[in-house]
Amino acid sequence: MSRAPIIPPLAAHGHLALTEQELIAWGERFGGVATAPLVVTITGELGAGKTTLVQAICRGYGVRDEVTSPTFALVHRYDAPASPVYHLDLYRLDGPKELTNIAWDEIVSDKAIVLIEWPERAGDRIPHIHVPISLQHLPDDPSRRLLYAGGHV
Ligand SMILES: Nc1ncnc2c1ncn2[C@@H]1O[C@H](COP(=O)(O)OP(=O)(O)O)[C@@H](O)[C@H]1O
Ligand SMILES: [Mg+2]
């Protein structure tokens, strides 16, 4: 497998239309080369594949536990060999003020991998340095998603 950095080539080449298996393979590769500290934002509608991608990134990074949607808790924390991993789903966040309750500042400044679904809910509290990923449905092909990673925001 190529040792080249994963983000710049994908960003330069624009988007990819991936099947679920391809998206999972991409996420596992991304997780395999990720190093903490790293904040990754994942935007996309319900069912776009954000959680599927988070699960793959976690697996690639070495998380052994089952990764489940933190829809009500807003954040789940997992251990991995190299650092903790935080998975946030901000869909139900009432506003940026509520971030204080989940120790947002500590999470995003931790030496950790931080994977954030619905980052728009956090407004300008998202750290300036992050990897933006977006997933979109394809109207003509329900089995594929458009993946944009890095450089487009
Ligand atoms: N190419 C694809 N990539 C990701 N998920 C897909 C794809 N094709 C179909 N799916 C399905 O879409 C759903 C995505 O769910 P999920 O990852 O929970 O989305 P989100 O977290 O964005 O709401 C899953 O049921 C998955 O099986
Ligand atoms: Mg989700």
What pLDDT digit, counting tens, does each position of 44-55 carry?
999 999 999 999
**Mean pLDDT of the region 131-153:** 87
Nearest CA to ligand 1 atom 12: 47
Residues at Cβ < 5 Å from ligand 2 ion = 50-51
- The SS3 of residue 102 is helix
- Nearest ligand 1 atom, CA 117: 21
Structure tokens at 15: 């988007």
Model's pTM, two decimal places? 0.91
Distance 40 CA to ligand 2 centre (A): 14
Tell me how far CA of residue 99 lies from CA of 24, 57, 110, in angstroms: 29, 24, 15
CA of 88 to the centre of ligand 2 (A): 9
* DSSP symbol at 33: H
Residue 16 has pLDDT above 90, yes or no: no
Pick the residue with more confidence: 2 or 12? 2
Cα separation of 25 and 60, whole Å? 9
C-alpha span between 55 and 63 (Å, rounded) = 9
Of 20, 42, 135, 146, best ligand 1 pocket probe by most atoms within 8 Å of the beta carbon: 20
Architecture of the CATH domain 7-149: 3-Layer(aba) Sandwich (3.40)
- Per-residue pLDDT for 9 more than 50? no
Is residue 152 pLDDT above 90, yes or no? no
pLDDT average, residue stretch 1-30: 72
- In the predicted model, is pLDDT for residue 7 greater than 90? no
- Asked whether the predicted pLDDT for residue 103 surpasses 90, the reply is yes
